[in-house]
Amino acid sequence: MRKITVLGLLAGILSFPALAQNKIEFKEFDLDNGLHVIMHQDNTTPIVVTSVLYHVGAKNEQPDRTGFAHFFEHLMFEGSENIERGEYMNIIQAHGGTLNAYTSNDITYYYESLPSNELELALYMESERMLHSKVDETGVETQREVVKEEKRQSYDNRPYGSILIETLKRAYSEHPYRWAPIGSLEHLNAASIEEFQQFYKDFYVPNNATLTIAGDIDYQQAEEWVRKYFSEIPKGTKEIYRPDVTEPKKTEEIRDVIYDNIQIPAVIQAYNLPPKTHPDSYAMSMLSTYLTGGNSSLMTKELVDKQQKALAIAAIPLELEDGGIFIMYGITNMGIEPQDLETEIDKLIKQVQAEGISDRDFEKLQNIIENDIVSSNSSMAGVAENLAEAHVIYGDANYVNKVMDAYSQVKKEDLQRVANEYLDLNGRVVLYYLPKTEQAAQ
């Protein structure tokens, strides 16, 4: 499950331990082929969410073949031996459902939400995707164009769109987190059909997948259908490749300038974080909320409202399995130089490092966390995703019921401690995003 990252400021009226986390009941079992299955029954509404989490992301790729995991997020909607090309989405939508998928550095996640009487259809569709997706020349060429267009719209032609790409390749020197999930179009163009087919055989196998069903189900019937559609899928024959790389701690600042199609400069800072499962990640999550999480956060009040040095300031705490990064960015106000904004950001970081936070601010943070945890499990889609991630990342699906307790162990002093531990001004990445017009004037 995702721990708290950039949060909305939800007003809380109770102290942190007062709001008990509602327990999520579930059942688990494994098939002989290694597929792990988690089922959660909630008969309050006639909806069921079916999801498959494949434990493969950008980090499982080779340096000269990046973008494969994200590419397969698209390719596996092409169809299968028994589902006509381009009909996957149409079939789900024709039965009253919605569906989507996403890829991160660590995982690829597919899900569909359907009326509960269509659960068997959802299981059949996901089993088809796992057993024999269409990984052929036609599908690959079609999705190459789709990914090219996505990269143009989301990265190349969007102001500040390359922040993640440019930050990752400087924040990591050795770990494969150094490239973003979108990867390289050159690598995708250079890859042979055999390479795509091998990637599918290596990673999209039942022993690298977690199937989650949440909603209006009968446990016995759901298990029967799971066994009917997934038991025949053969287990992968190769050991799943997982990079065994420890990113060295930075001891020097990395600083650079990126010229972009923008009108207003921006300042980006990035600090390396511990692994997602590290106990300090809870305190860092709360710290990021305190610094930039909403209109009443420290940096928004001080730099946007009071000093008016920034038009906006926010953070992206990218929590990753092997150690993520805390990306903070500020867009300068008119007439403000990036150096001026950076100086004020650093002053606030040093202030927290030296003084910590007040009791009142810490209590407000606790209330925000409470509300966020409750809201993350308020839908069947949220429950399904949180159960899957809890099993894969934390090794225990019951982690979904322990999140509140984990945050309750964080003390006010811990936020000051992790600020000093991880927001190291001498071991970070700093990027200035400047208009291309300034590059021409150099």
Domains within the chain, CATH numbers bracketed: 23-230 (3.30.830.10), 254-441 (3.30.830.10)
Residue-wise pLDDT tens digits, 199-257:
999 999 999 999 999 999 999 999 999 999 999 999 999 999 999 999 999 999 999 99
**Phi (first) and psi of residue 205, to 5 degrees:** -125, 155
**Which residues are registered as beta bridge partners of 167?**
none
CA torsion, ordered 113, 115, 118, 119, to nearest 10 deg: 60
In this predicted structure, the answer to whether residue 119 has a pLDDT above a threshold of 70 is yes
Tokens of 63: 């340096």
**Which residues are registered as beta bridge partners of 329?**
268, 314
Residues 191 and 145: their CA atoms lie apart, in Å, by: 14
Residues 339 and 331: their CA atoms lie apart, in Å, by: 12
Chain Cα centroid distance, residue 300: 24
Residues 415 and 281: their CA atoms lie apart, in Å, by: 10
Report CA-CA distances (Å) from 420 to 132, 359, 384. Answer: 50, 19, 36
Residue with structure tokens 């390479």? 195
User: How many CA atoms does the CB half-sphere of 13 hold within 13 Å?
Assistant: 0
Mean pLDDT of the chain: 93
**Which residues are registered as beta bridge partners of 254?**
429
Q: What is the pLDDT of residue 397?
A: 98
Other C-beta atoms lying within 10 Å of the C-beta of residue 376? 18
Residues 271 and 407: their CA atoms lie apart, in Å, by: 22
- Give all strands (DSSP E) within 273-428, no chain letters: 310-318, 325-332
- N-terminal to C-terminal alpha carbon distance within the chain: 47
Q: Are 166 and 241 in contact (CB under 8 A)?
A: no
Residues 341 and 331: their CA atoms lie apart, in Å, by: 9
Q: What is the pLDDT of residue 315?
A: 86
**Phi (first) and psi of residue 407, to 5 degrees:** -70, -30
Q: What is the pLDDT of residue 440?
A: 65
Q: What is the pLDDT of residue 20?
A: 56
Q: Are 73 and 147 in contact (CB under 8 A)?
A: no
Least Cα distance to 406 among 379, 353, 366, 364 occurs for 366
Residues 440 and 442: their CA atoms lie apart, in Å, by: 6
In this predicted structure, the answer to whether residue 12 has a pLDDT above a threshold of 50 is no
DSSP conformation class of 359: H
Residues 112 and 10: their CA atoms lie apart, in Å, by: 29
Residues 185 and 145: their CA atoms lie apart, in Å, by: 10
Amino acid type, 163: I
Which residue stretches of 84-136 are H helix? Answer: 88-94, 119-132
Average pLDDT over residues 290-297: 90
Lowest model confidence (mean pLDDT) among 9-18, 56-65, 329-338: 9-18
Q: What is the pLDDT of residue 8?
A: 35
Average pLDDT over residues 31-59: 98
In this predicted structure, the answer to whether residue 157 has a pLDDT above a threshold of 50 is yes
Q: Which helix (H) or strand (E) holds 100?
A: strand 98-103
Q: Which residues are within 8 A (CB) of 135 and not within 5 positions of it... i.e. 6 or more apart?
A: 75, 193, 196, 197, 200
